[in-house]
Amino acid sequence: MNVTFRQLKVFEAVARQLSFTHAAQELHLSQPAVSMQIKQLEESAGLPLFEQLGKKVYLTEAGKEMYHYCRSIASQLEEAEEVLGQLKGIQRGHLDIAVASTANYFATRLLAAFAKQHEGVSFSLDVTNRESLLRQLEQNDKDLVIMGRPPENVNLEMEAFMENPLVVIASPEHPLVGKKVTLNRLQKESFVVREAGSGTRIAMERFFSEHGVRLQTGMEMTSNEAIKQAVDAGLGLGIVSIHTLALELELGRLVVLEVKEFPILRHWYVVHRKGKRLSPIATAFRQFVLSEATNILQSKNPL
């Protein structure tokens, strides 16, 4: 079948609008010119692609099949255009990412720094919990995800880009402030913790289990902000990422306790489905995170 891109473009407009007149207006062509392109395409296909009943235009069975392939070809051409744009230097595009709620404390700074280098790029940012991130990865809903280490038994590509130390926090009036604290001593304290299944909770429970320590968990919270407010109010100790504490430490509202074996050293990962073909803009952002994140965020690291 010998067809031209022009014929496919005209056909796509007519098939989408189901109107030769509206397609002609959209493409800034005369209606006879549109009809001629469709006639030539039908001759090449050897089958009618449209049928007209009264004043309405319908796709034939062959037309429906052609429309399916036409859209696929158009998608591949757009992808090729993006790839070629990458070779010239990325100037535009849309990035759809999701981040763990803890990572949101620095993710917006990474996006801002990246946007300065790529001013035509737009973003969609979803801040959510670990369970939702894993579901979005499974369904291939996002270009990239920033989170703590995913489970080993899932079909994902992951690469660590920055340390994520977990520390013990207390209110400034807590009696353990200024002291060197052992893990056994922590067993006498009540802790405000994240919900079961969160990355921080999993890492915390694994750490204390390995050291034979059993903590008292007095309250369970679904966000780092809630934990920090509860600790500030004197409701117990907390364990959070150091990346969530810049403001509270600067204002003196919270204190990081000096605890033996702490901090718990974790890492942040940039993650996507294994085998996923990243768009040029997603590829560029991934490389940006891997190479620049630590330098960009280091000045704000309270440790």
Overall average pLDDT of the 8-31 stretch: 93
- Residues 240-283: tens digit of each pLDDT: 999 889 889 999 999 999 999 999 999 999 999 988 888 888 88
How high is the pLDDT of residue 85?
64
Task: Give residue 88's pLDDT.
Answer: 55
pLDDT at 101 over 90: no
Is pLDDT of 218 > 50? yes
Q: Binning pLDDT at 50, 70 and 90, where does residue 90 land?
A: low
**pLDDT tens by residue, 42-57:** 999 999 999 989 889 9
User: 298 pLDDT exceeds 80?
Assistant: no
Instruction: Give the pLDDT of residue 78.
Output: 77
pLDDT band at 228 (very low <50, low <70, confident <90, very high): very high
pLDDT at 36 over 60: yes
Q: How confident is the model at residue 118 (pLDDT cuts 50, 70, 90)?
A: confident
Residues above pLDDT 90, as percent of the chain = 59
Q: Which pLDDT does position 252 carry in this prediction?
A: 93
**Residue 190 confidence (pLDDT):** 94
Averaged over 78-99, what is the pLDDT? 72
User: What is the rounded CA–CA span in Å between residue 199 and residue 201?
Assistant: 5
pLDDT at 303: 46
Structural domains in the chain plus CATH codes: 5-88 (1.10.10.10), 92-162+267-298 (3.40.190.10), 164-266 (3.40.190.10)
pLDDT on residue 178: 94
Say what the pLDDT of residue 75 is.
81
Return the pLDDT at 302: 47
Average per-residue pLDDT for the chain? 89
